[in-house]
Amino acid sequence: MIAEFLDTLEFSFSVTGPIFVILGLGAWLRRIGMINDAFVEVGTRLVFNVTLPALLFISVSKTHLDTTANFALIGFGITATLLVWGAGELTARLAVREERDRGVVVQGIFRSNMAIIGLAYCVNAYGDAGLAAASLYVGLVTILFNVLSIVTLSKSLHASQSVGRVLRSVAMNPLIIGILLALPVSMSGIHLPAILFQSGEYFARMTLPLALLCTGAALNFRSLRNDPRDAMLAATGKLLVVPLLFVIAGAALGFRGMDLGILLLMSSAPSAAAGYVMVRAMGGNSALAANIIALTTVGSLFTTSAGIVILKSMSLM
């Protein structure tokens, strides 16, 4: 019994431990001056616009959608995200004093950093099979994240956003473009030229280390001293309530093994760094958004580890 528990604990740390190490390395390199604001800004742009779309393109293009794509899992993720968003709106209306901050809290609860930390969790847990199974999930649910974020922030900030602008924002998202370009390749069975495929692989392999280094370097807990209440509310919802709901509902609907593991790993990923960019661009409380991201990024390592231990001990993951 003890040996089984230790094996489960070792597996859990094998999933979250490398993420913690690289995030910590990013924070330390920033502290000693080897990484600065310019590196973080350029590195983040490079990941979002080039290497992460390349990773998703390579992964989806190699996937046989007719046999590998789990549209039941994707449908569950979309439905559950909508329900979490609705519950977050109600909670923020009741618990967040400042109306302009409600959208920031709601986004912090429902929007996961799936494309970086969520994918890293899946790769560590399941290898290439996890990456292939999670890539399409990430792409399609990310579309919903972008739409819901614009809606909820516009409502709380009383900023008008036309339907055309929302659709343009979604259509220009590099992650979505990468996946949409990969779908015809996957469905047609086209074999890409070796030189093109290998070049894409080089970019893809850069993604997770560079993204995690930048994330770690960008963490800042100083402003939490001012008023941590709303940030703690969002972090509690993101790290505890949302993964619990996803896993319980997913298990009740029959998801098991890697599918249930992906639901846990994606829903327990921290709030997305892209949420901070959107809040700042729309004139919202960017300090609160940064606090939520910092809290959930560190907290996710522990809550995800606990979730993995529980699911593995119940032979569900």
Tell me the C-alpha distance between 290 and 275, whole Å. Answer: 9
Q: pLDDT band at 59, cuts 50/70/90? A: confident
Q: Which of 76, 69, 68 is nearest to 250 (CA)?
A: 76
**8 Å CB contact between 271 and 113:** yes
pLDDT of residue 5: 67
Helix (H, G, I), strand (E, B) or coil at 135: helix
117 pLDDT above the threshold of 70? yes
Tell me the C-alpha distance between 153 and 143, whole Å. Answer: 16
pLDDT of residue 121: 94
Q: Which of 309, 310, 280, 248 is nearest to 104 (CA)?
A: 280
Q: Which of 89-93, 112-116, 201-205 has the highest mean pLDDT?
A: 89-93
| pLDDT tens-digit series, residues 203-257 | 888 888 988 888 888 887 776 666 689 999 999 999 999 999 999 999 999 999 9
Per-domain residue ranges for the chain?
2-313
Q: Which of 52-66, 115-129, 134-148, 238-252 has the highest mean pLDDT?
A: 238-252
> CATH 1.10.8.60: does it fit domain 2-313?
no
Tell me the C-alpha distance between 185 and 177, whole Å. Answer: 13
Torsion of CA 240, 246, 251, 256, to 10 degrees: -100
Q: Mean pLDDT, to the nearest integer, of 21-31? A: 91
* H runs (alpha helix) in the chain: 2-31, 37-46, 52-61, 71-95, 99-110, 119-157, 163-171, 174-188, 194-218, 229-236, 242-252, 257-267, 273-281, 286-313
66 pLDDT above the threshold of 70? no
Query: Directed axis angle between helix 2-31 and helix 194-218, to 10°?
Result: 80
